[in-house]
Chain A
Amino acid sequence: MREPTFLVLTALAEEPRHGYAVIEDVSAMTGGRVRLRAGTLYAALDRLRVEGLIEVDREEVVQSRLRRYYRLTGAGERSLAAETDRLRTQAAIAERRLRARRPEIGGAPA
């Protein structure tokens, strides 16, 4: 799973969100590191919808603009959980190895 996809699913895991809210949430989650652009966001949303990982929650018109809210489906929840597990395992391995390096390096010069 690519990072934008993972982040979009994570944004929708909290509550149903519309497109711009997803962008804002992803930006907040990553401390401003990832600012999804419309093309990337809708490529991910369209694919996730076709794959059945998200679905349309509701539609609203705010200031004559269409806002479509998306929510995570059961399949989306499982997919996000599986990806989270995978990332956690990898992070744990990396962490263990980094910790193992520390005594041998002992505050090595940069």
Chain B
Amino acid sequence: MTELTSGSIGAVRRAVAAPESGGGVGMTVLERRYRRLLRVYPAGHRAAYEEEMLGVLMSGAEPGRRLPALADVLDLVRAGLTARLGRASLTQRGMGWRDAAAVTALLAAIALAGAAVTTLTSGLVVWARGDRMSAYGVDGLMLADPTARAVIWLLVVTAAVLGLRRMTMVLAAVGVLVQAGVAGFWSGLLPGPALFAAQGIVLAAIVTGLSAAASGRTARAVLGARGLMLLAAATVLAALTRAFDWNAIAPEPLITSPYLPHPMLTEMMGFWLPGLVVAAGVWVTGRGVRGRIVVLSAVLYIILAAVVEVAGSVTVGIHSGFDMSILGQIVLTALLPVMVLAAGVTGLLVWERWTASRSLRRLGATE
């Protein structure tokens, strides 16, 4: 950050430092106190500016002063801590979260689109077999729910992949309305699906919020061609394994062939294989982003689980009264995502501190 290079500076520093090493003859109490205060700055900054700043501080001090001025102390601590955290790395850190928000929003939108397409496809298959859609809705109207969801989330994914930031956010907001409409639709019929619909609303709202927070690069820019390809590959893999699964358990399989993978295998692979490819896609976003995507995704997952838990507790409470244990459980469950976020952020900071100091030490060793 502060690699001031100057031929004379070493000699100057030695000349300047000489009285100090003498042990206080040339150094006043005030100077020693200012020097101690300047330790709030990182070593690089001190090496570049300490003597100079000390000169400024001493020039500004009225004669006879023994204690540093309070305003100076506050100013130095603020500036020193800012330098230590690193103005550049601070904004970079902010950028990391914004990049991660863009990618996490895309991942969640893909999940929402995937869920809708899955329901829609299975509904269509049943429809094609002549069922009256009793299981999927009121005579065909039921397909309106997964169709609307599939359309809006596929649009969101498309906008994100094309790198249209505003469009992604606006479409995601429309997605919230669609999910809310779906929830209203189902809650009139069955409370169970309405619970899942509540999850949908929450997830849609989070996608909207994350897209709004992603004010930096778009998901397309963060992932790059490689990341996008990996996510596309994961989606195709998930669709394929899902299709094989259906085919295997269907009463009249569409395809029968001895070369099809075993149902046990596709069932096992249906989650892990696409998951691994998604992980690879997240990995290529690079250091400073991938860890944040993992933290955000984990928090998102916990939020979705918490929504179901809280809804369950509320249902129990409605039936058998809210006692302390149920209320406590609701509060604890609601706090869980916050705790996971705090733990994730802290863990990341500690980890980055550690890797940064390690690379600094390595630099020092080679010098």
Chain A interfacial positions (CB closer than 8 Å to B): 18-20, 23, 37-43, 45-47, 49-50, 56, 59, 61, 64-68
Known contacts being A64-B19, A67-B55, is A42 close to B78, with CB within 8 Å? Answer: no
Chain B interfacial positions (CB closer than 8 Å to A): 1-2, 4, 6, 8-9, 12-13, 15-16, 18-19, 26, 45, 48-49, 51-60, 71-72, 75-80, 82-83, 87
- 10 pairs from A and B in contact (CB 8 Å cutoff): A19-B52, A19-B55, A20-B55, A38-B75, A39-B72, A39-B80, A42-B79, A46-B83, A59-B8, A64-B16
Known contacts being A38-B53, A56-B6, A59-B6, is A64 close to B80, with CB within 8 Å? Answer: no
| Residues of the B chain whose Cβ atoms lie less than 8 Å from the Cβ of A66 | 9, 12-13, 16, 51-52, 55
| Residues of the A chain whose Cβ atoms lie less than 8 Å from the Cβ of B80 | 39
- A64 lies within 8 A of B26 (CB): yes
- A61 lies within 8 A of B49 (CB): no
- A40 lies within 8 A of B51 (CB): no
Known contacts being A59-B9, A66-B52, is A43 close to B82, with CB within 8 Å? Answer: yes
| Residues of the B chain whose Cβ atoms lie less than 8 Å from the Cβ of A41 | 56
| Residues of the B chain whose Cβ atoms lie less than 8 Å from the Cβ of A18 | 52, 55
Cα–Cα distance between A45 and B80 once the two chains are bound (Å): 14
10 more CB-based (< 8 A) A-B contacts, given A20-B56, A65-B55:
A20-B55, A37-B72, A38-B60, A39-B77, A39-B78, A59-B6, A59-B12, A64-B19, A65-B59, A66-B16
Cα–Cα distance between A40 and B51 once the two chains are bound (Å): 16
Cα–Cα distance between A23 and B51 once the two chains are bound (Å): 17
Interface of A is mostly: helix
- A46 lies within 8 A of B75 (CB): no
- B49 lies within 8 A of A42 (CB): yes
Cα–Cα distance between A41 and B79 once the two chains are bound (Å): 9
| Residues of the A chain whose Cβ atoms lie less than 8 Å from the Cβ of B60 | 20, 23, 38
| Residues of the B chain whose Cβ atoms lie less than 8 Å from the Cβ of A68 | 52
CB distance from B51 to the nearest CB of A (A): 4
CB distance from B343 to the nearest CB of A (A): 33
Cα–Cα distance between A81 and B188 once the two chains are bound (Å): 67
CB distance from B91 to the nearest CB of A (A): 12
Interface of B is mostly: helix
Known contacts being A66-B16, A67-B52, is A43 close to B83, with CB within 8 Å? Answer: yes
Smallest Cβ-Cβ distance to B72: which chain A residue:
A37
Interface centre among A43, A45, A56 (most CB of B within 10 A): A43
Cα–Cα distance between A38 and B2 once the two chains are bound (Å): 16
Smallest Cβ-Cβ distance to B20: which chain A residue:
A64
Cα–Cα distance between A42 and B55 once the two chains are bound (Å): 12
- B2 lies within 8 A of A46 (CB): yes
| Residues of the B chain whose Cβ atoms lie less than 8 Å from the Cβ of A64 | 15-16, 18-19, 26
- B76 lies within 8 A of A38 (CB): yes
CB distance from A65 to the nearest CB of B (A): 4
CB distance from B52 to the nearest CB of A (A): 5
Known contacts being A20-B60, A59-B8, A65-B16, is A42 close to B26, with CB within 8 Å? Answer: no
CB distance from B63 to the nearest CB of A (A): 14
Cα–Cα distance between A61 and B16 once the two chains are bound (Å): 8
| Residues of the A chain whose Cβ atoms lie less than 8 Å from the Cβ of B58 | 65
| Residues of the A chain whose Cβ atoms lie less than 8 Å from the Cβ of B4 | 49, 56
Cα–Cα distance between A66 and B57 once the two chains are bound (Å): 12
Q: Which 5 residue pairs across A and B have the least CB separation, nearest first?
A: A39-B79, A39-B75, A37-B75, A65-B55, A66-B51
Smallest Cβ-Cβ distance to A43: which chain B residue:
B79
| Residues of the B chain whose Cβ atoms lie less than 8 Å from the Cβ of A56 | 4, 6
| Residues of the B chain whose Cβ atoms lie less than 8 Å from the Cβ of A40 | 75, 79
Cα–Cα distance between A84 and B118 once the two chains are bound (Å): 61
CB distance from A103 to the nearest CB of B (A): 45
Smallest Cβ-Cβ distance to B78: which chain A residue:
A39
Interface centre among B12, B13, B56, B77 (most CB of A within 10 A): B56
Known contacts being A37-B75, A40-B79, A59-B6, is A46 close to B1, with CB within 8 Å? Answer: yes
